[in-house]
Amino acid sequence: MTKVRLNKFLAECGIASRRGADDLIIQGKIKVNGRVVKELGAGIDPQKDKVEHLGKTIKPETKLILAFYKPRGVTSTNADKHADKTVADFFPKKLGRLYPVGRLDKDSEGLMIVSNDGNLANKLTHPRYEHEKEYEVIIEGNDPSNVKKFIKRFKLDNYLTLPMQLSKFKKVKSKTWRMNLVLKEGRKRQIRRIADILGYRVVELKRVRIGKLQLKELSSGKFQSIQEKDII
């Protein structure tokens, strides 16, 4: 059988994303046929070679991809000792190891992808792929004229953001507006931070689309099985 890259194999087994797998390899946490392998780009034969992570033999898992409606107040990690509730609390243990693909901050709600497929995680989170993510946002402020500036570029974390798309802008009540924003990247709390720069407070933020996958009728705290083609 043709050899595959070790990091790709680890990602397919649900151990980590490819980048995360590279970190495990560098840290000396992966063995192949009893020998620690630290060479990035190392290849293996999945049919013949024995791969271990922290002493446990690794085997490919059946790919599982879930669309999940993360409720507000839930932390989008599997484990956090400071969190009241995490994404992992919503999935039965019989489904095996599942990881959130990307993040959605605690104060936000809406569509997330949860999967054991590290390669999918890489496709959806790596900046070069520029997959669209759409959000319904309600903001509060004194001046509606600044709203159009959401489509401009802003410097966050010494990085110049890509322009957002703005649509469905309408007044909800005095000093409060609703709109949809589409991003092709995901800087930490990007929409909230830009809103703050423009003089607004985000009242509600809900992600309603990732790629071509839409939240639609999925209820808060619920999930459903999907396929990669439903997203990309």
Active-site residue set: 105
Encode burial over 36-73: b for 16+ CB neighbours within 10 A, e otherwise: ebeeeeeebebeeeebbbeeeebeeeeebbbbbbbbee
Q: Which of 147, 107, 144, 102 is nearest to 125 (CA)?
A: 102
Cβ neighbours for 12, distance < 8 A, ≥ 6 positions apart: 60, 61, 117, 118, 119
* Residue recorded with tokens 């802008």: 169
Pair of tokens at residue 91 = 């999935």
Pair of tokens at residue 229 = 């083609």
Residue type, 200: Y
